[in-house]
Amino acid sequence: MRHPLLASFAVGIPAALLVGIAVTEVASHWIFFSLFVGIPAGILAGIIAIAATYAVLTRQGLSPTETSD
């Protein structure tokens, strides 16, 4: 892939939005200011999705025997 960072952001931003909205809606039944729980959860999910996608897309074709100690 030519631009793995762009693709990683294309995965991470929707993940952050979806997780943030979902957590906000679920937490709204118990917490009055549920947005303050949903925003950090969405940001964390987006960062994890960006990092995981970038790691998968830029990984070299190493076999499992070459990566073990």
pLDDT band for position 69 (cuts 50, 70, 90): low
| Closest by CA position to 13, among listed 43, 33, 40 | 43
The predicted model scores a pTM of 0.78
Looking at residue 17, its pLDDT comes to 96
Q: For 7-65, what is each residue's pLDDT tens digit?
A: 999 999 999 999 999 999 999 999 899 999 999 999 999 999 999 999 999 987 655 55
**Angstrom distance (rounded) from CA 30 to CA 1:** 44
Residues 6+ apart with CB under 8 A from 65: none
pLDDT band for position 3 (cuts 50, 70, 90): confident
